[in-house]
Amino acid sequence: MAPPALFVLLLAVAGAAKAFSCAGATSVKMDFLPSAHVRTDALLFDPELGECVSDHVHTFYGAIDPRAETLRPNATHEVLRRAEGNTGNVVENKSLYWHPTIYKVITDAQGGRRFEIADVWFASAYYVWRTGEAEAFPDGLKMRTHGTDPVARATSHCAPEPSPCEREDSCEGG
């Protein structure tokens, strides 16, 4: 690369860095593969009642271990910290994420219906914080978000949008 071109490149990088630092915030995106589908929900666990199943199935992402302790309703902060791996692209992230499992409805020729778990290729978690104000989450933090909370700004969508149906039944459910 010629010296003038290198100078222009360095100037562009420096300008981008300056613009980014003036934004006042930064963020990180973490992608996860699903690890399991389980009828449990750690946010609903009651130590007095013990382990109960959830009224619906959840798809889990994140911290995993050979004994599946991270998927139990009584999973603790210590259990997550001991997890031997995770399904995400950030090795140090020992968090656990889940959402209600998504199903597709299959209708047979006689009109009978069955439900199959839909393939979810991955899920992403985004964290945004003000520059210079980041703090570690407290040990044992449990965070719940949902689409009706405007502060959470939680969203979900099927991507890419729109996409043609690739199923043999032309997405008619048969």
Q: Residue 95 and residue 85: Cα distance in Å, rounded?
A: 11
Tracing tokens 């997405």 back to the chain, one arrives at 171
Q: What is the pLDDT of residue 10?
A: 38
Q: Residue 166 and residue 172: Cα distance in Å, rounded?
A: 11
SS3 153: coil
pLDDT in tens, the chain (174 residues): 444 443 333 334 444 444 445 567 788 899 999 999 999 887 777 667 666 678 889 999 999 987 888 888 778 889 999 999 999 999 888 899 988 999 989 998 999 999 999 988 888 888 888 888 888 888 888 887 777 777 777 776 666 566 677 777 776 654
Q: What is the pLDDT of residue 89?
A: 93
Q: What is the pLDDT of residue 173?
A: 58
pTM of the model: 0.70
Using a 10 angstrom Cβ sphere, with 0-12 exposed, 13-18 middle and 19 or more buried, the burial of residue 154 is middle
Query: Do 88 and 31 form a contact (C-beta atoms < 8 A)?
Result: yes
Q: What is the pLDDT of residue 114?
A: 93
Contacts of 17 (CB under 8 A, 6+ apart): none
**Domain residue ranges in the chain:** 23-174
Of all helices (H) and strands (E), which one includes residue 21? helix 3-22
